[in-house]
Structure 1
Amino acid sequence: MERFEIGKFRGFSTFDLKILGIILMFIDHIHQMFVPMGAPNWLDWFGRPVATLFFFVSVVGFSHTRSKEKYMLRLYLGMIIMALGSYVLQMKVGYEEVQLMNNIFRDLLTGALMMYGIDKLSEGISGKKISKLILGIVLLLFPIVTSFILFALMGNTATMFVAVWASNFIPALLFTENSFLVLLIPLMYIARKQRWLQCLLISLVAVFFFVQGSTQWMMIFAVIPIALFNGEKGKEMRNFFYFFYPLHIWILYLISAYIYTH
């Protein structure tokens, strides 16, 4: 990957991008949890580039991990723990003013599954292996097909409850926190050797949201640190993120519930 160096500034490492994403995410979640107390809407602006930053980091991480299967397994466990933990917490606390819908693990897992599909598709084409070609297509389509299946089941009162619970365990594209925006992950993975193209893809999606009148257009600001990514890993903090993400959301939720009810 390209290496940026301006004076003593040598660009951002993966660690730096994660820290930046965590800081912006924390501010955004303060807005989410304290809306009932009048948290200003401009706090939400800080969170608009966050998903894009984590998607880019996911592409980098998936490209360099020694075991892509273990990478996806960690995300799957994170997705389940987050979903069940949030459900239990809301049931116990009973604070309905804020709904815990957050689960970035589902977004990242869905993206990783599609990246894995791209790998298998590539292996099938280069090695002329029909089995890997089919597997690649199945993996790429799985998050999309399961989305429509779950929606169909939810439209039937007899299967609605099962479908709602099943959505917590299946990486379905339309049930992710960022919906179609998650498609940026496989797209950036295809363009992983061309940073300019990754930044262009982000910019085009940002323009789409701008035309729609959504503040999500502010995701374009993620282009700056991504363009300055130096290709280095930096400090190891994988386990920190897996713990920090659910814990900070749950703690902010409990603080908000306490303040609102006292």
Structure 2
Amino acid sequence: MKSSSINASLDKGCLSATFIKMIALLCMTIDHIAAYSFEIAIIGRYSDLMRSFGRIAAPIFLYFVIESYKKTSNKERFLLRLYIAACIVGLCNYFASTVVLQSTVTFGNILHTFVWTIAIVYLFERLKKAYASKNYKSMIFSLCIAAIIVIALHYIEIGLLGLASTAATETSREIFWQSHKIFLAFFNSPRQVDYSFGFVALGVIWYLQKTKLVHCISFAGLWFVLGTFTYASSYFDVNYLHDISLPVMVIIVALIAIYNGERGRGMKYFFYIYYPVHCYIIVIVTKLMGYL
């Protein structure tokens, strides 16, 4: 069968974005139950299996963030809305962890990872447009602004950690620790994004590709190639691919393949709300049961 015929077959699909994201949401919930409630005997017994299938969620949500960005008519508003959502979740995580639960439980915030992904894609589009119009000053200006932001976020985050570790008194140390946490709620540094910049790179790769066939092939290829390596740094980590089993990789590829290109019912705000709230409920229930 010719590649054009394969692309045509894949483009038909049978499930909308909303339906596939609901599948990913279920997998995410199972993953977080295992992550936060593994001390409960019945959950701990199957936690590895639960977390394995939970790995379906993050790549699927990343894929649809990229798809939504491609289809939106206002790129800037999309990026701003995503950033505001990431900040709100970050603040809610801080408040839930330090004030309500008063525990050492750390809540993730993958929305900041999505923000970095879309920000890089947006920068790429601006550079491409400036290059096409031979506006080289705009290219240099955009690159300089991006570099300043990345460097500033890195050194502010590192600086707050350094001040916290070298503070002379317990009070000042606690102030700097809390300041670091609040800073990350608003400005997740490149060193701190969930899944590292390796995950961001996957989103950029998907953005640069045009068809679902290539999307499927690229993800499977990355899994086969990079999944054999063990490499991690403060910024770039491909080891999360090791946590994706062959059946899970196949499921992720299959879900992308059967996407019909339609948004479905939307429910975009539901996913933003459900993401942090279900984590808090799981931790609260686990704590009430005496396991935290």
| TM-score higher than 0.5 | yes
Q: CA deviation at 1:141?
A: 5.1
Match in the other structure for 2:249: 220
1:170-181 equivalent positions in 2, closer than 5 A = 170-180=187-197, 181=199
Match in the other structure for 1:36: 39
Counting aligned pairs with the same residue, the percent is: 20
Match in the other structure for 2:259: 229
Q: Deviations over 1:62-95 (max 9, x none)?
A: 0011212221222112111211111111222223
Distance 1:63 1:240 in 2: 21
Q: CA deviation at 1:155?
A: 5.4
What is the count of residue pairs matched by the alignment? 257
Match in the other structure for 2:215: 198
Q: CA deviation at 1:138?
A: 4.8
The verdict on how the C-alpha distance between 1:194 and 1:145 changes in structure 2, with shifts beyond 3 A counting, is farther
Match in the other structure for 1:129: 135
Amino acid at match of 1:173: P
Amino acid at match of 1:260: G
Contact 1:110 1:172 in 2 (8 A): no
Q: CA deviation at 1:50?
A: 1.4
Q: CA deviation at 1:33?
A: 1.4
Q: Taking structure 2 as the reference length, what is the TM-score of the superposition?
A: 0.77
Contact 2:13 2:261 in 1 (8 A): no
Match in the other structure for 1:186: 204
Amino acid at match of 1:14: A
Unaligned runs of 5+ in 1: none
Match in the other structure for 2:101: 93
1:99-114 equivalent positions in 2, closer than 5 A = 99-114=105-120
Contact 1:14 1:232 in 2 (8 A): yes
Distance 1:149 1:203 in 2: 36
Contact 1:144 1:174 in 2 (8 A): no
| Larger of the two Rg values belongs to structure | 2
Match in the other structure for 1:119: 125
Match in the other structure for 1:23: 26
Contact 2:112 2:193 in 1 (8 A): yes
Q: Deviations over 1:168-187 (max 9, x none)?
A: 21243321111121221112
Unaligned runs of 5+ in 2: 168-175, 231-238
Determine whether 1:242 maps to 2:282. no
Contact 1:79 1:106 in 2 (8 A): yes
More off after superposition, 239-248 vs 138-147? 138-147
Distance 1:217 1:140 in 2: 32
Contact 1:113 1:140 in 2 (8 A): no
Q: CA deviation at 1:41?
A: 1.8
Distance 1:108 1:138 in 2: 22
Amino acid at match of 1:183: A
Contact 1:3 1:230 in 2 (8 A): no
Contact 2:108 2:194 in 1 (8 A): yes
Matched position secondary structure for 2:191 = helix
Query: In structure 2, which of residues 82, 86, 97 is the aligned counterpart of residue 75 of structure 1?
Result: 82
Q: Deviations over 1:19-52 (max 9, x none)?
A: 1211111111111110222422211001212111
The verdict on how the C-alpha distance between 1:84 and 1:30 changes in structure 2, with shifts beyond 3 A counting, is same
Over the aligned positions, Cα root-mean-square deviation in angstroms equals 2.9
Q: Taking structure 1 as the reference length, what is the TM-score of the superposition?
A: 0.85
Distance 1:228 1:143 in 2: 38
Q: CA deviation at 1:114?
A: 0.8
The verdict on how the C-alpha distance between 1:63 and 1:46 changes in structure 2, with shifts beyond 3 A counting, is same
Matched position secondary structure for 1:118 = helix
Contact 1:4 1:230 in 2 (8 A): no
Distance 1:224 1:260 in 2: 40
